[in-house]
Amino acid sequence: MTATTPEPISTPAESTASHLARSEVADLPMYNAGLSSDAVRQRYGVTRISRLASNENPAGASPAVARALVDLVSGIGVYPDAASTELREAIGSRLGLAADRIVVGNGSENLLELLCQAFLSPGDRAVTLIPSFGLHEIYPRMMGATVTMVPVTEALEFDVDAWCAALTAPTKMVLLSNPSNPVGCMVDEAQFRRIIDAAPDDTLLVIDEAYFEYASLAEGFPDALKILHEQHRPWIVLRTFSKAWGLAGLRVGYGIASDNVVVSLLDRVRTPFNVNIAAQRAALAAWSDVEHMNYSVTDTVRQREVMAKQLKAMGLTVAPSAANFLFIDLGRPNGPVAEALLSHGVIIKPWKEAGYERFIRVSIGSASDNAHFIKALTEALGAAA
């Protein structure tokens, strides 16, 4: 999701809140979560909604999740396991790692926030991608760090040479999303190795693999864990249950760290019960049903290729994607098109970062929702011609 410039804060003359706020916070861009389905229904008077803005899983969660949540009813009066022990052990067991190298958060963005709190100080430098997931810029800046943004190429691919050049300067944290959000491009093994090898030795490598399950089907996608285990430096790989596992509404993410020291440092800054009991139980149930996850991912990848072909036939430029979304160059300002789509009940993400105002990001939904989008987009582009 994009970071947008907030409107100036208007407060009564007697209010001192804006003067008391940290300058880093007052200057932050706003995180843009987009419109809810209910807001679109009320504003545009539509009944059918196709949610294609937040990269959710159209297949939803495994049926095992519903059963686990029903069984939970009698237990909601007690606090959850503060350490998410059972979930960490299940993740570690499948990955062949000790549970003390796994950390669980209220979504992977919660872990990103904790990493910035634990490792970044005012004046530190972080390096990430542009266009990017907005919080890769917001959270480091919140801690007073400077953020160097490395653009993608004109072909909407990683510019590995530019990454390596950016990492010649002292760098405290690398925030590398693979595949990237919102573009969907990825680095292969050779490119991945070049980037991490270019980073100074005293740099924390943060690899955001929110779309790992989709990208793992793409030819050449690197085994980041295997490669990182060769590194003699701290690192963490972030993954989530929100996308391929269908638990976006429950907010569960996890990190796989180089060692238990990284996890211990995050434990010092996280809240004691940061993952609620329903989320822990649901994630355990989802994790047990790999078949459902694999089915939903395979179907989404197939639908993605169908949609990409349709969009290209319309004369649009579509970035190569290894994720569950497409980044599309409309060749015109995206605002009016996004507004027209909303009037048809189709919610997409118009990108607002400077230089990308012609682009929209569209999640891959069900076949029906995808068809709804293509029809509405055809009408919107025709009306704007």
278 and 296 fall within a common domain: no
CATH assignment at residue 253: 3.40.640.10
Residue 385 has pLDDT above 60, yes or no: no
Q: Are residues 316 and 259 in the same domain?
A: no
One domain, residues 359 and 256: no
Task: Name the residue among 256, 314, 306 with its Cα closest to residue 105.
Answer: 256
Region 143-164 average pLDDT:
97
Range of the domain at 327: 23-52+291-383
Q: What is the pLDDT of residues 90-142, one digit of tens each?
A: 999 999 999 999 999 999 999 999 999 999 999 999 999 999 999 999 999 99
Q: Where does a domain end: 289, 324, 358?
A: 289
Residue 6, domain member (yes or no): no
- The mean pLDDT of 345-363, rounded to a whole number, is 95
Q: What is the pLDDT of residues 44-97, one digit of tens each?
A: 999 999 999 999 999 999 999 999 999 887 778 899 999 999 999 999 999 999
Q: Are residues 276 and 376 in the same domain?
A: no
- Residue % of the chain over a pLDDT of 90: 86
Q: Determine the pLDDT at residue 346.
A: 98
- Of 273 and 6, the structure prediction assigns the larger pLDDT to 273
Average pLDDT, the chain: 94
Domain-located, residue 58: no
Q: Find the CATH number of the domain harbouring 350.
A: 3.90.1150.10
The span from the CA of 238 to the CA of 364, in Å, is 22
Domain count within the chain: 2
Q: What is the pLDDT of residue 28?
A: 81
pLDDT for the residue numbered 363 = 98
Give residue 3's pLDDT: 56
Task: Identify whether residues 281 and 303 lie together within a single domain.
Answer: no
pLDDT tens column, 168-181? 989 999 999 999 99
Report the Cα 220 to chain-centroid distance in Å. 21
pLDDT-based confidence at residue 22 (cuts at 50, 70, 90): confident
Give CA–CA dist 311/317, Å, rounded: 8
Output the pLDDT for position 32. Answer: 75
pLDDT at 238: 99
For range 281-302, the mean pLDDT: 98
Closest by CA position to 107, among listed 1, 253, 206, 263: 253
The answer, yes or no, to whether residue 15 has pLDDT greater than 70, is: no
Domain shared by 248 and 162, yes or no: yes
The proportion of the chain whose per-residue pLDDT surpasses 70, expressed as a percent, equals 95
Length of the chain: 385
Considering only residues 84 and 8, tell me which one the structure prediction assigns the higher pLDDT: 84
Based on the fold, state whether residues 235 and 323 are members of the same structural domain. Answer: no
Query: What Rg, from alpha-carbon coordinates, does the chain have?
Result: 21
133 and 278, same structural domain?
yes
**Residue 316 pLDDT exceeds 70:** yes
**Does residue 148 sit in the same domain as residue 45?**
no
Q: Put residue 89 in one of left, alpha, beta given phi > 0 → left and psi -120 to 50 → alpha.
A: alpha
Express each pLDDT in 208-259 by its tens digit.
Answer: 999 999 999 999 999 999 999 999 999 999 999 999 999 999 999 999 999 9
Q: Is residue 54 within 8 Å of residue 34, measured between CB atoms?
A: yes
pLDDT of the residue at 73 = 78
Indicate the pLDDT class of residue 4, thresholds 50, 70 and 90: low
Is residue 32 domain-shared with residue 104, that is, in the same domain?
no
pLDDT number for residue 74? 77
Task: Please indicate, yes or no, whether residues 255 and 165 belong to a single structural domain of this protein.
Answer: yes
Residue 328: pLDDT over 80: yes
Domain boundary among 255, 289, 323: 289
Please say if the pLDDT value at position 12 is more than 80. Answer: no
Position 320, amino acid: P
Q: With respect to residue 130, please indicate whether it lies within any of the assigned structural domains.
A: yes
Which of 289, 321, 346 delimits the end of a domain?
289
Does residue 16 fall inside a structural domain? no
